[in-house]
Amino acid sequence: MKFNKWTLGLAAVGAVSLASAVRADEAKPSPLQTALSNTTISGYVDVSAQYNAGDARGWASSTPGGSGVLDGFALNCVNIAIDKPLDESPWASGYHIEMNSGQNAINALTGGGGSATTLSIRQAYVALRTPVGNGIDWKIGAFDGITGYEGNTGYSNPNYTRSYGYMINPDSEVGLLGSYKICNAVSVQAGIVNRLGSSSGTGSGTSPELSSKSYIASVTLTAPDSWGFLKGSTLNAQTIQTFDSFGANNYSVNGTIATPVTGLKVGLAYDKVQQLGALNEGGDANIYGVYATYQATSKLSYNVRGEYVDGQNLPFFYLPSGGGPNNGKGEEVTVTVEYDLWANVVSRLEGRWDHTETGGGYNAQGNADAFLVALNIVYKF
């Protein structure tokens, strides 16, 4: 076949048009690219080594799920989070998926933290905003609990080991939670959650009625910049209410207060849980906590925590006593030194003392005192 110059010219034009169409298709975002825009992946690996003096278990037998470490190494948690946060638009939408595994991992759907040997869901919710007033942000699904001074992400807490106050608050909930910022100084949260969806089992309790719900609420006050050295200080009041005879009510008041000393902050915490009805014979616990954090340099910080505990008739709460492991009064003091030598790494050395006042003991010899030393290393990505 012979080609003249007109045939070659038309072929060249067609090739250019086809190439342009291909480039246009490549430039046009696919539905998948659009859905994944602004999505981030993050997480952490949390490991530790711990020594318990005299085989006294103390905190090791008091952690959620009974997963404490005794004289050994531990993979506490491997955490992976996929997140598309809300943007500034009035009808913003997004999602958060957080999965974890390990000896202190949290499973939001099957009953709490502790020895999650398979990949478990800690959080998985759809985030939505409705343009009412300043905008109400909603979480629908499984999300972290809102009560207590300490949170589920271990390295964000002042100390490596958990507080007794953490133990009596639900680590996660399944339901609906709304957040509203009234102004820079005041924000509130409120929601309704499944009774059986409270993963720790320590907050919203249990009920023979699957339709039973718990109601959660909180208010947070933040000191404005005009308050001088107190600026940024926070005060939180939080509660969970069940409104029937088979549940549990939680109350938490806590705050972090800046001081005139540069780098020094003081924290105060009060946590209370009341289990209602004949199933638990009206068990309750009151826990008082004091925290102090001193940021000596950009890498070095010192953290101290002290707690007084008074609990009775709570099947999930361990403090040895003559009346059984579900009753007791006691104290704990924890001292933590953090020095972040490597990039993206939290490294902490911690010592802790637990004491029971009401008989029993932390080991077979009946020791009323328990001591531990722990090294905690966390890599954040």
Q: What is the CATH number of the domain that holds 162?
A: 2.40.160.10
Q: What is the DSSP letter of 29?
A: P
Q: Are 222 and 214 in contact (CB under 8 A)?
A: no
Structure confidence at residue 129 (pLDDT): 98
In a domain, 267, yes or no: yes
In a domain, 44, yes or no: yes
68-72, long-range: CB < 8 A, 24+ apart: 69/103, 69/374
Domains contained in the chain, number: 1
In a domain, 146, yes or no: yes
In a domain, 5, yes or no: no
The rounded mean pLDDT for the chain is 82
pLDDT at 359 over 80: no
pTM, 2 dp: 0.83
Q: Are 205 and 242 in contact (CB under 8 A)?
A: yes
Structure confidence at residue 119 (pLDDT): 85
pLDDT at 24 over 80: no
In a domain, 27, yes or no: no
CA gyration radius, the chain:
26
pLDDT at 33 over 80: no
Report the alpha-carbon angle 120-123-124, nearest 5: 100
Distance CA 115, CA 117 (A): 6
| 281 Ramachandran zone, left/alpha/beta (phi>0; psi -120 to 50) | left
Which domain covers residue 241, as residue numbers? 32-380
198: pLDDT confidence band, cut at 50, 70 and 90? Answer: very low
Tens-place pLDDT, residues 56-86: 766 655 444 344 567 889 999 999 999 999 9
Distance CA 273, CA 317 (A): 11
Structure confidence at residue 212 (pLDDT): 78
In a domain, 343, yes or no: yes
